[in-house]
Amino acid sequence: MPQSSTHLSKHSNRLRVLSFNIQVGIDSGNYSDYIRNSWRHILPYSGRQVNLARIAEILKDYDLVALQEVDAGSLRSHNVNQVEYLAQQAGFPHCHWQCNRNLARVAAHANGLLSKIPAEVVIDHALPGMIPGRGALEVSFGYGKQPLVVVVAHLSLGHRTRCNQLRYIADILSGYEHFVLMGDMNCEYDAVVSELRRYGVKAQAQHQELPTYPSWKPRRQLDQIVISENIYLEKVEVLAEPISDHLPIAMDICIPGDLASNILDRNSVSNFNP
């Protein structure tokens, strides 16, 4: 595996995080591609590995990467777990995934997290909905009562179901002081923050529009990184990398010094092996 290092150190409490709906390695250039290339969602496609290699190059300079619409190993991906593959190619020593919908081994829909920091706790959550298949991946870094908690999610299209899913996620986040929520929310940023705050979660507001969808002519910010109020936002941007039908969104954050020390101290003695 390529060598890599996190931006988190004793001299800096900075983390670089990114969220990307990769559409299982399928490139899209217009709406007609959804019909013309629909077979690529269920059958092997020779260009998929080329696109995954391009994605891996984008991910290398980040510390935590949330992935949505990633395949956990099935017919369409040549039985390659794309989370593991991207971790190896981009130099991430740790990765975690949850398979939310396995369609007769033809397609294994999953969320994933790539990390340069070992985790303490990993929990899979099945999100509520009339049709099963949506999930949230909860990963905790550091020990004690107040770790850094990262949640990766891909929410439903329907408004009512999405609100129920955000309430479920709010229940997860309400017990933590420091959190990062990343994923394809299928709604605008303000809607996510207002719903979380409705249930007492101290989510930080954002004051700029950062459209991520569709990648060829972005109009809506469906992809988001939501952080707790006590995490300092240094920079946020959408990357002009139209590989999937979504653009990746990236954020540089600074976490409190005691939290950074907590994570580093645990890393120095951890025998964690994903």
Contact present, 223 and 249 (Cβ < 8 Å)? yes
Q: How confident is the model at residue 132 (pLDDT cuts 50, 70, 90)?
A: confident
pLDDT for 266: 58
Residue position matching structure tokens 């999930």: 135
**Which pTM was predicted?**
0.93
pLDDT at 8: 83
Strand order across the 148-154 sheet: 121-126, 135-141, 148-154, 178-184, 223-227
* Residue % of the chain over a pLDDT of 70: 94
| Predicted confidence (pLDDT) per residue in 170-202, tens digit | 999 998 999 999 999 999 999 999 999 999 999
Q: Give the confidence band of 97 by pLDDT, cuts at 50, 70, 90.
A: very high
Give the domain ranges of the chain.
Answer: 14-268
Structural class in CATH, domain 14-268: alpha beta
Rg (CA), the chain: 18
What is the DSSP pairing of strand 232-238 with strand 249-254? antiparallel
Return the sign of the alpha-carbon dihedral for residues 43, 49, 54, 55: positive
Given a cut of 90, whether residue 61 has pLDDT beyond it is yes
What is the reported pLDDT for 104? Answer: 63
Q: What's the pLDDT score for residue 7?
A: 87
The amino acid that residue 269 corresponds to is V
pLDDT of res. 10? 59
What whole-number distance in Å separates Cα of residue 212 and Cα of residue 245?
9
Which tokens hold the place of 78? 């040549």
CA dihedral 72, 80, 2, 6 (to 10 degrees): -10
Beta bridge partners of 154: 184
Cβ partners under 8 Å of residue 30, min gap 6? 216
Q: How confident is the model at residue 274 (pLDDT cuts 50, 70, 90)?
A: very low
CA atoms within 13 A on the CB side of 225: 29
Candidates 227, 228, 272; CA nearest to 250 is 227
Q: Which long-range contacts (CB under 8 A, 24 or more apart) does 211-215 make?
A: 211/238, 212/238, 212/246, 212/247, 212/248, 212/249, 213/245, 213/246, 213/247, 214/28, 214/31, 214/245, 214/246, 215/28, 215/242, 215/243, 215/244, 215/245, 215/246, 215/247
